[in-house]
Structure 1
């Protein structure tokens, strides 16, 4: 999917912000179809105006857990991600937009890291910070987010940032949803406190190189910044 022209230049003000956000959401959702080499079984429903999408129908979702939101942190790009409960300890690379307007994804390579979409807030800033990772990496086997769907409400996620600070999040809920019903607004829409989104592929792998039919999405809230 090509991003609308509003990605690179938009008018200032509320209308401009809506256009920019909608363009970014469209590009992000397009990139998710490529994540883990998993083509969607049907086109993702991602409105370019950032509006509502078809309600998500999760195959699995843990119950939300109350989390005391910490104060937003200053901007600082992520450098490392640690999720002790599923054994994740990985570097984080920045992901921008490709020349065709789609969001880039981490490389299909041995020890491929997680990737932070640099059009989203940095972890700890106000809003939803978006990190992507592979569930499998072709001939190299398991990806960094292989066990993302095992996270449960209350699990800790720590992001070390370039300034040496650590943004610690608590998982609110975990959702597995068909790519054709990707909840764009819930994942990328504005929120009034610092949040984190971790996204990978899910579901039973489609034979013949068809990838995965679902996305696993982790929603988490900032509980401390130091």
Structure 2
């Protein structure tokens, strides 16, 4: 059965920043307040998330933190800007070309297409993978045909797993997971995900938390990774 995330209204934080949630299938996060950076030097992106089924729990009343090893303790050297072309996540068998995502006319974040294999998408208004700041990649949990989406197994990822992003200058940005979280969408950790970081980081985002009573995915699952030294 096809399921979708429940659209949600932006909270006070989003209203204060003039941002909106994306409501196409799965709700995203509000735009971060760049006046309140998470760590260092560069304002990063705005906000998205993603779509499709998974968890067997009946509701999303779950402790949001799944696994965490603490913030990165070392900072890899920043790579020159280069747009990503594909992503590989060996732990979950993912190899995907990357479409580039922007903003819709209403200010909502675009989501990857469902057709054409439902590839993952990179949010192009944020840092490129390897630059300082959090590059953001979104992927659906299920496909339009009813099968699994590109990030169907994302919630099984663990600390220490690796992610490789091929870039259009021929270089490879390799990341190591240091944290994974599941959050109710109305409690999305905007600054943790989209705020400034000391070094180059990556976020993978999809939907999670299937409510069996409503058929709605009520959470977001987020993978945090840092660039390998």
Partner of 1:115: 121
Paired with 1:79 and 1:47, the residues of 2 have a C-alpha distance of 25
User: Alignment partner of 1:116: what SS?
Assistant: strand
User: Alignment partner of 1:164: what SS?
Assistant: coil
Contact 2:27 2:185 in 1 (8 A): no
User: Alignment partner of 2:145: what SS?
Assistant: helix
Partner of 2:4: none
Contact 1:171 1:219 in 2 (8 A): yes
Task: Write the mapping of 1:202-217 to structure 2, written as runs, cut at 5 A.
Answer: 202-206=208-212, 210-217=215-222
Paired with 2:32 and 2:179, the residues of 1 have a C-alpha distance of 26
User: Alignment partner of 1:85: what SS?
Assistant: helix
Deviations 1:128-161 (A, max 9, x none): 0010000112334111001111111111100000
Contact 1:115 1:133 in 2 (8 A): yes
Q: Segments of 4+ in structure 1 off by > 4 A? A: 205-208
**Which structure has greater helix proportion?**
1
Q: Structure 1 residues 2, 207: CA separation in 2 closer, same or farther (over 3 Å shift)?
A: closer
Partner of 1:223: 228
Gaps of 5+ in 2: 1-7, 11-16, 38-61
By relative contact order (CA 8 Å, sep 6+), the higher-ranking structure is 2
Partner of 2:204: 198
User: Alignment partner of 2:192: what SS?
Assistant: helix
Partner of 2:56: none
Task: Write the mapping of 1:9-24 to structure 2, written as runs, cut at 5 A.
Answer: 22=17
Aligned length: 191
Contact 2:82 2:128 in 1 (8 A): yes
Contact 1:169 1:220 in 2 (8 A): yes
Partner of 2:157: 151
Cα offset, 1:202, TM superposition: 0.5
Paired with 2:26 and 2:169, the residues of 1 have a C-alpha distance of 34
Q: Structure 1 residues 135, 221: CA separation in 2 closer, same or farther (over 3 Å shift)?
A: same
Task: Write the mapping of 1:52-91 to structure 2, written as runs, cut at 5 A.
Answer: 58=64, 60-64=66-70, 68-91=74-97
Instruction: Give the superposed CA RMSD.
Output: 2.8
User: Alignment partner of 1:139: what SS?
Assistant: coil
Cα offset, 1:205, TM superposition: 4.6
User: Alignment partner of 1:74: what SS?
Assistant: coil
Contact 2:208 2:221 in 1 (8 A): yes
Relative to the length of structure 1, the TM-score reads: 0.75
User: Alignment partner of 1:203: what SS?
Assistant: strand
Contact 1:39 1:212 in 2 (8 A): no
Partner of 2:185: 179
Paired with 1:203 and 1:67, the residues of 2 have a C-alpha distance of 31
Paired with 1:47 and 1:122, the residues of 2 have a C-alpha distance of 18
Gaps of 5+ in 1: 4-21
Partner of 2:167: 161
Cα offset, 1:207, TM superposition: 5.3
Cα offset, 1:118, TM superposition: 0.7
Cα offset, 1:109, TM superposition: 1.9
